[in-house]
Structure 1
Amino acid sequence: METRAGHPTAVPRPNRRQAMARGCALVGVAAAVGVDLSGVAANSAMAAPPGPPTPAASGAGATGSLTLRSAAQAGAPAKYASGDPQRPGLCGEIAAAVMRTDPDLHIEGLHRQVPLRRLELMLSNGDLDVFFCLLKSEHRHALMRYLPVPLYRISHVLAMRVGDERAPRTWDELRAFARRQPLLLAQGTKLAATLQEADVAFIESARSDKEALQMLVRGRAAGVYGQDFNLRQAARGAGLDSRVRIGPQVFEEETQYVVVSRQLPEAVVERLTDRLRQISASGEIARLSERYR
């Protein structure tokens, strides 16, 4: 059985004992492979780009002019600012479709690049009102609110160098593959929790999927674990299509959602949800996402 993207159906993840805390696992694996974690720590503490914050939406209701603060995710060209006019960024395009549906609704900040961990903090603090395209995770539910309209599904896949004929198809095979050389993962991604739960060795030493693929072709890793949308866009953007291949196996599937600050007024939340339902029912979200597959 295959998914819409042509990958085999995701293999079920085994129930295993609770893995070590991420920090311990990362430090241990990094020590084994000689990775310097100081750059990772510095990146995770990175501040948002300078500039005074715009006042949050307050007192706004279901109608009338409304401006909401948002941002783009740095290092995620499949979502934002890809540089490709044919595929400028799926999440930015979805945000634009919402604004076309509601001309009185303005979403600002979509060109401001912010690291993922900083985005989570800004949503939690109420420094952002809305963000387009985020996967669900337990720790995020306490920081922000997910709107109940699915955007698009992503697949967890493995990227390897062209010429490497290995093709892990089960979690057992992926664990064995990663024991020889830990998988490479972009920093801050929720996919790390999936690998921890499955007891698959990995390191988060790349600042983006593009950088991870560049490290892959230089022989710094044997495989990059990531989202199919992101890895394909990163390979195109880095000119690595002929040197990197995406493995056929889907290890997990998840759905992207719009998230909002828990401080956002309920009337605004309902307005956003209604506009998302409109562009979902019309098929516009599906048409947009199909162009990025």
Structure 2
Amino acid sequence: MCVGLLALSSQAQELTLKTVRQANSLVKYDPANADQPGLCHEIIKAVERVDPGLRFVGLDKLAPLKRVERLLADGEVDVVFCLLRSPGRERQWRFLPQPLYTVRQVVAQRVDDPRQIDSLGDLARGSYTKPVLVSRGTILTRRLDAANVQINEVSSEREALQMLVMGRADAVYGQDVNLLRHMRDAQLGSKVRLGRVGFGDDMQYVAVRTGLPAAHEERLMQALRRLDREGVLRQLADKYR
């Protein structure tokens, strides 16, 4: 009873946290799309619904991923939704333990390309003819570097898929939800396919700046746990697949 009363008292207090919207990631943020305004955008709004005293400001600000990381590391924003964990990132800020959704690393190829890419070794061998395209600034590049895959970083999955269709590359490495979204938007289903093999599943998390008060972290975690318990996180993730 006391714990419940404390939780209600905490939620009644106003708390505003600064965030920022990641550019070139329509799956995460696409506020101009009324039907699918972005998975991360919808998670943020769901958090605000279950805790009406908790508000996030800064969604009107747009920044590329590298800039988002710098803002968080410098403490200029309090929280960023939907980031992958990595040792390098965990040295700069903290991640809340509640996963938001899962993404799978996959390869996109042209439909008329008969090659089957079943391993990173296959991908590496083909990359010496034409480098593999990957979005600039993502931690996916580190995995490809470790596997000796030759890469060419581009601004977005959308640009990468356009280059793939034009024959300027033979493979795009990215996250399934992002690639599928761009394939649907550009009506590339007859020209581009995803490979049959996944190269690892990763969880997306909420990252918070070093020095954010523990009480603020716990309040955000309470809201996320409730969304997970009520199945909201799963429903939102399914909506974007």
Unaligned runs of 5+ in 1: 1-60
Given candidates 68, 72, 75, the residue that maps to 2:24 is 75
Count matched residues.
232
Please say if residues 121 and 147 of structure 2, whose CA atoms lie closer than 8 Å, have aligned partners that are also in contact.
no
1:108 corresponds in structure 2 to 57
Q: Given the alignment of the two structures, is residue 228 of structure 1 paired with residue 176 of structure 2, yes or no?
A: yes
- Where 1:287 maps in the other structure, the secondary structure is helix
What is the Cα-based RMSD across aligned positions, in Å? 1.5
| TM-score, normalisation: structure 1 | 0.76
- Where 2:56 maps in the other structure, the secondary structure is strand
Given candidates 156, 161, 167, the residue that maps to 1:219 is 167
Q: How far off is 1:213 after superposition? A: 0.9
Letter in 2 for 1:197: A
Unaligned runs of 5+ in 2: 1-8
Given candidates 119, 127, 134, the residue that maps to 2:68 is 119
Q: How far off is 1:183 after superposition? A: 0.3
| TM-score, normalisation: structure 2 | 0.92
The correspondence of residues 89-108 of structure 1 with structure 2, limited to 5 A, is 89-108=38-57
1:26 corresponds in structure 2 to none
Q: Distance in 2 between matches of 1:281 and 1:251?
A: 29
- Where 1:180 maps in the other structure, the secondary structure is coil
2:93 corresponds in structure 1 to 144
- Where 1:273 maps in the other structure, the secondary structure is helix
Q: Distance in 2 between matches of 1:82 and 1:105?
A: 20
Moved more, 175-184 or 131-140: 175-184
The correspondence of residues 145-184 of structure 1 with structure 2, limited to 5 A, is 145-184=94-133
Percent identical among aligned pairs is 43
- Where 2:106 maps in the other structure, the secondary structure is strand
- Where 1:149 maps in the other structure, the secondary structure is coil
2:216 corresponds in structure 1 to 268
C-alpha deviations, 1:238-277, integer Å up to 9, x for none?
A: 3333322111210111110001111211110110011101
Letter in 2 for 1:139: G
Q: Residues 165 and 86 (structure 1 numbering): CA distance in 2 closer, same or farther, change over 3 Å?
A: farther
Q: Distance in 1 between matches of 2:161 and 2:37?
A: 20
Q: How far off is 1:87 after superposition? A: 2.2
Moved more, 162-171 or 141-150: 162-171
1:249 corresponds in structure 2 to 197
